Structure 1
Amino acid sequence: MKRLAGGLLIAAVTLALPAVLDDSSLAVYILLGLAAMVTVGVSLLMGYAGQVSLGQGAFYAIGAYTAALLALNGVPPLVGLIAAPVAAAAFALVIGTPLLRLRGHHLAFATLAMQLILLSLAGQLDVTGGDIGLQAIPQFGVGSFEAGSAPAYAYLTWAGLALVMLVTHNVITSRPGRALRALATSETAAASAGIPVGRYKLIVFALSAAFAGLAGGIYCFYTGYVAPGSFPVLISIQYIVMAVVGGLGTIWGAVVGATAITLLVQGLDRVASLPGMPTYAPSVLSYAVYALVLILVVLFLPRGLLPTFTRARFKDR
């Protein structure tokens, strides 16, 4: 009953915030929800399957470009939004077959290279608008309804996050979820127990990519513009930091981590925009703080914020 009451309270606050936030705060609120959506996939991939990916920004970009291209060519936005996670998952299945033969930092660097290659291609191809990108993307809508305001996109974003969290919960509480936990502990032991390691790794890789693709689809409709500069390498590192800070292998930990890091980044952006700060201050501050946060979490909160807080609360009882 306490968990149900807590969930209902969180849902009520989530639904009430778009009505009281101003436009600037709403933009942060929407970006926070999109980041949480991707981070849930990262937590699933790293926390349960034990696979490290520094290329989630690439799947985010694939979802955004897919939805944008379809919408600009007259396809209904709803179809474009559905196609975004499908395209990201399909791409993950194709490249995951060779990439997932790698492990550890080799896999991480390979996924990072994948994002760099993808962004380079997007900046050169005419179909993606080159470095200028795609502009004047139509608003998201279903039938006669059109999401022409920030609160509408806030509700759409958090509905997408709720769907992602529900799917993830069903996965990790199922028999395949138990197999994923065994895989993360030891691939050799999991294979000896009859678990199809390669297939499971590929499926969870595609599922995490689909989550990122869905977030990218919503992002393109919200901003009305996508370009290679919208998906820097730093964004993939940011998702890793969010997952680690919140607590790998936890659904709500991904939301907590995304909230903490998004608010921290917003604070850093304000500091970097103060008079007298150099133009490179935002990127330098971001990298420095990400490194510092990771070091502090690994040293003092190795389980992440949410698991550490939960464990401490139960000890007090």
Structure 2
Amino acid sequence: MNAPRMVGFVLGGLVAVAALLAPLVLSGSQLTIYVLLGTAAMVTVGVSLLMGYAGQVSLGQAAFYAIGGYTAGLMGVHGLPTVAGLVCAPLVAGLLAALVGIPIMRLRGHYLAFATLAFQLILLSVVGQLEVLGGDIGLQGIPRLGIGSAQLSNTQSYAWLTWAATALVLLIARNVITSRAGRGLRALATSEIAAESSGVPVARYKLAVFALSAAFAGLAGGIYAFFLGYIAPGSFPVLLSFEFVVMAVVGGLGTIWGPVVGAAVITVLVQVLNSLGTEPGMPPYASSVFSYAVYALLLVLTLLFLPRGLLPTATEWVRRALRGREPPAAGDRPAAAVPTGDASGSPAR
């Protein structure tokens, strides 16, 4: 096993151990942020699959986040098993994405981005008018997630559940990318015409990855609904979709672990700025202004100085450092110079 791959395995193991131990040392609001970070990471992995690997732009992932949340919450409120609600959340989100994707995935570029954004606006408007979903007031009294009398009663339990679900999402995404379908996705991201001429079923792959990314968002939405016990249209604003895109770009589009890094950076930074915006003397709109400013500034700085994202850039730096320490292989050593002439440049006799 070469050094970069060994470093990757070691870092992956350290991250897994840290994710398991973090709920034991965090408390109160820190645990809440940790749970929200995990749900954001799940959605952002889907965004990275869709935009980074398949080259399809979506500005409406928060819509599927909301669909998952309302599916799980509605089933729980009406007395159905909460575990069934959590299972149905990604299934319903993925199915609706497949239905919506049949017409809109024929679009490309900014037309596709506007179509997904319009879908979220329409969804929020409809949800706000339906009394069965609580209307503008929202869906209240969502029960705790559990099986029978065994329920997740504290934030620590939800933290472990959230990151177990995040690990599952990362595993699925990795298996997709390393499969034949993953190679097809990378091909259509480069050129849909060339991919189709090479035998890649472009339309089917685009629809499949759109539905899969929506299922990831639906799973995160289901956990979010059970964790908070209350959701409303205001819980899934349009800004949230842009936040997921910024997380994916900052962490590294077209990577598996990049979205987790981006979600961690953005989530922590937003929480710090929200705390700053609520300080005495700050205007009531300070938090919103800070959020918009940070998203715009991070996006611009990343595209200018780290166009590949934080994780790919850091990985490349580590590889260069390790490569510089390794002695050159026998085949890489330069051959001895063969004299072809004297010092004046005249050919040898």
TM range (shorter): over 0.9
1:306 aligned residue: 311
For residues 170 and 29 of structure 1, the distance between their equivalents in structure 2, rounded to whole angstroms, comes to 26
Q: Is 1:315 aligned to residue 320 of structure 2?
A: yes
1:249 aligned residue: 254
Determine which of 184, 190, 203 is the counterpart of 1:185.
Answer: 190
Determine which of 199, 207, 216 is the counterpart of 2:204.
Answer: 199
Q: How far 1:286 moved relative to its partner?
A: 0.8
Determine which of 92, 117, 120 is the counterpart of 1:115.
Answer: 120
Determine which of 157, 163, 169 is the counterpart of 1:164.
Answer: 169
SS at match of 1:303: coil
Q: Could you give the per-residue CA deviations for residues 51-97 of structure 1, whole angstroms, max 9, x where no partner exists?
A: 00000000000000000001111110100000000000011011101
For residues 99 and 200 of structure 2, the distance between their equivalents in structure 1, rounded to whole angstroms, comes to 22
Unaligned runs of 5+ in 1: none
Determine which of 60, 64, 73 is the counterpart of 1:59.
Answer: 64
2:264 aligned residue: 259
Q: How far 1:314 moved relative to its partner?
A: 1.1
1:48 aligned residue: 53
Q: Could you give the per-residue CA deviations for residues 255-299 of structure 1, whole angstroms, max 9, x where no partner exists?
A: 000000001101110111111111111111111111111000000
For residues 41 and 3 of structure 1, the distance between their equivalents in structure 2, rounded to whole angstroms, comes to 22
Higher relative contact order (CA 8 A, sep 6+): 1
1:20 aligned residue: 25
2:102 aligned residue: 97
For residues 143 and 13 of structure 1, the distance between their equivalents in structure 2, rounded to whole angstroms, comes to 31
More displaced 10-residue stretch of structure 1: 118-127 or 273-282:
273-282
For residues 236 and 51 of structure 1, the distance between their equivalents in structure 2, rounded to whole angstroms, comes to 15
Please give the residue correspondences for 1:285-300 in structure 2 after superposition, counting only pairs within 5 Å.
Answer: 285-300=290-305
For residues 81 and 129 of structure 2, the distance between their equivalents in structure 1, rounded to whole angstroms, comes to 27
2:337 aligned residue: none
Q: How far 1:2 moved relative to its partner?
A: 4.1
For residues 197 and 8 of structure 2, the distance between their equivalents in structure 1, rounded to whole angstroms, comes to 37
Residues 5, 144 of structure 1: alpha-carbon distance in 2 compared, 3 angstrom cutoff: farther
1:216 aligned residue: 221
For residues 247 and 2 of structure 1, the distance between their equivalents in structure 2, rounded to whole angstroms, comes to 18
Q: Could you give the per-residue CA deviations for residues 99-130 of structure 1, whole angstroms, max 9, x where no partner exists?
A: 11111111111101110110011111111100
SS at match of 2:257: helix
For residues 261 and 91 of structure 2, the distance between their equivalents in structure 1, rounded to whole angstroms, comes to 27
Tell which structure's C-alpha radius of gyration is larger: 2
Q: TM-score, normalised by structure 1?
A: 0.98
The RMSD of aligned alpha carbons is 0.9
Equivalenced residue count is 317
Q: Is 1:155 aligned to residue 130 of structure 2?
A: no
For residues 45 and 195 of structure 1, the distance between their equivalents in structure 2, rounded to whole angstroms, comes to 16
SS at match of 2:129: coil
Determine which of 277, 281, 295 is the counterpart of 2:282.
Answer: 277
Q: Partner letter of residue 122 of structure 1?
A: V
Q: Could you give the per-residue CA deviations for residues 177-230 of structure 1, whole angstroms, max 9, x where no partner exists?
A: 000000100000001001110110000000000000000000000000010010
**What is the aligned-residue identity percentage?**
65
For residues 220 and 73 of structure 1, the distance between their equivalents in structure 2, rounded to whole angstroms, comes to 14
